[in-house]
Structure 1
Amino acid sequence: MSESDERLPWPEEWPYPGGWRQRATATVFALLGAGSALAAVTALSASPPDARGVIMAMCAPLFLGFAAVAVLTRLRVRNRGIASVRLEHVETVGSEAVVIPYSRGLTSTYVVMTVSMLALFGFFAAVSLLVITDGEPGGTGVVLLLVASGAATLYLLLLVVEALRGGLGRGVLALAPTGVYHRSWTFTSFFPWDSIISVTAGTSGGQLITTAVYDNGTPCFHRRSRLWRQPELSLAPHMGVQGVNLSVDPALAYHALRYYHRYPDARAELGSQAGAERIRRAELLEH
């Protein structure tokens, strides 16, 4: 059990993680992944090798990825560590800030799943194209398969290009003396503390943390990629952070935002190790 799990209450608005449905989902996908891997080895080891083993080999990491996402975002939530919380210079803010990055494990899982889907859809697109160009009978079904798999392959390739150019990337939540900076998967935003009205726990999925701002507030939004519109963008000009994406217990980030919103005099420490240490120690309950 983590320190934050002992000291910080879980918001009532969020379903508590670790229910039987989430465990069942993770188990089913893990079994599908293991079964696909076993089927791939069996098929490719046959004499002659069964080509369907290639499909199973590409499906295995995809199923295992879904299992990992379920574990990381629905099961292994309250016992996340605090080692990732650190003091760092944030160029956009122009000062030091306490940084809570997105989960490295979750980011890596999404990368593996994207590569797996790219290989799978690319394989189907190549096979269907070969069938059509060879003049073999396939009918409308093969054409539809080519169109669907080709479109999916193209979209995934564009996502890879976006990631390489920096349009998509691992996010971070940064608490600075002047405000809150949030770099999500596809956009960045900054909210001065004085513009924030409240910090609340959202009722939607993903352990949503929201900050409402005044109508005349001056939040700054910058969308880095147009290929994927994140649901949190619909909250603009307010801020939404999906706690499941963070590398720490979402309750820790939630209470940190509430603490520094409620106590303006304490915000100066966010530019020093004192702020990082307070968050690591979870000394964030309201007086």
Structure 2
Amino acid sequence: MKPLNENLDGPGGNRLPWPSEFGSERPSGKVIAGLVVIALAVPLFASTCWSAIQNHQWSVAFFGAAGTFGSLVFAVLGLSILRRRRSRIPDAIRLETIDAVPGQTIPARKSTLIALLCFASVAVLVAASRLILLLGNGLSDHAGRNIFSSLTMIVLLLAGLWLLAVGVSVASTPRGLRLTTEGLEFRNGFVHQRLPWSAVAVVRPVIVSRNPAIRVLPTDPSTLSLEFTSRLKQRTGLDCIVIPPSVYGIDPALLYYTIDFYARHPESRSELASDAAVQRMRRGDVLG
């Protein structure tokens, strides 16, 4: 990872102004409290699992292990939410020419997708194993409670299988953001959107699901090219491009100002075909 500018206030000191539309630079107290609760759940589930193993309660031990793993995954993912501002740009940014169009590609991070697949796998394993135990022991004893538990496990199993299907579908398609000499390209695993620079009406900093996002509105919805890349078709947010910076591990303000800069400066778009664009981002020279 390389600092934006090593000449201003030391390495990484050149942080661009934070748009007020992004909300606070720091996560809210509710988010922090939620992450603390999740973090505390890790040792609680772990102790439950260990105690159950010592008492040979294998069903409880399995649930404890699943809870430990799930809580740990969410706790690790939550740490990325706490860090909204970033003083360095991702090393993964690369210059690519696709379909004879050069541009800068920012691939999406895989951590969230991996966590989704892990969580779904755990849900499927827990539900399937518990369902097998219930059916193996029969439903005659405590019939009402066992039937309810079986139905709950069936719902959990179906939900886990659905999440796995979503994760596999998304993982099988390219995900990322491209800033090319011709325009923007956005792939989120469900849809591939393309918008020429000349058709960009406005670039807005917004909040989506309590996180900073960048909304790129076209002058005319018909100029926004759509191509569905998954059988699970996206139904909303198709009239504009909504970019979540956290998915790319890049400072939200830097990404917003960079997209806005090239939308307003056609004379500088040729930089996107060379390393000059990354050098501009590193300098933070995207406010003019």
The one-letter amino acid of 2:43's match is A
The one-letter amino acid of 2:242's match is G
Deviation string, structure 1 residues 72-118 (Cα, Å, up to 9, x no partner) = 12x11213631335233253x53221122223433433333333333
Alignment CA distance shift 1:37-1:222 (3 Å): farther
2:39 pairs with 1:30? yes
State the shift of 1:267 in Å: 0.6
2:129 pairs with 1:123? yes
Please name the residue that 2:119 is paired with: 113
Residues in 2 aligned to 1:125 and 1:80: alpha-carbon distance in whole angstroms: 49
**When the two structures are superposed, what TM-score results if normalisation uses the length of structure 2?**
0.84
Please name the residue that 1:151 is paired with: 158
Identity of aligned residues (%): 22
Deviation string, structure 1 residues 43-86 (Cα, Å, up to 9, x no partner) = 22x1434430110101112112222232212x112136313352
Please name the residue that 2:66 is paired with: 58
Alignment CA distance shift 1:96-1:105 (3 Å): same
Please name the residue that 1:211 is paired with: 216
| Equivalences for residues 241-280 of structure 1 within 5 A | 241-280=243-282
**When the two structures are superposed, what TM-score results if normalisation uses the length of structure 1?**
0.84
- What is the count of residue pairs matched by the alignment? 275
The one-letter amino acid of 2:67's match is C
RMSD (CA atoms): 2.6
Deviation string, structure 1 residues 146-189 (Cα, Å, up to 9, x no partner) = 4313322331342354256x15x6x2111000011111132211
Please name the residue that 1:77 is paired with: 84
Residues in 2 aligned to 1:215 and 1:105: alpha-carbon distance in whole angstroms: 35
Check whether the contact 1:100–1:247 (CA below 8 A) recurs between aligned residues.
no
**Segments of 4+ in structure 1 off by > 6 A?**
none
Please name the residue that 2:8 is paired with: none
SS in 2 for 1:78: coil
Please name the residue that 2:191 is paired with: 187
SS in 2 for 1:13: helix
The one-letter amino acid of 2:198's match is D
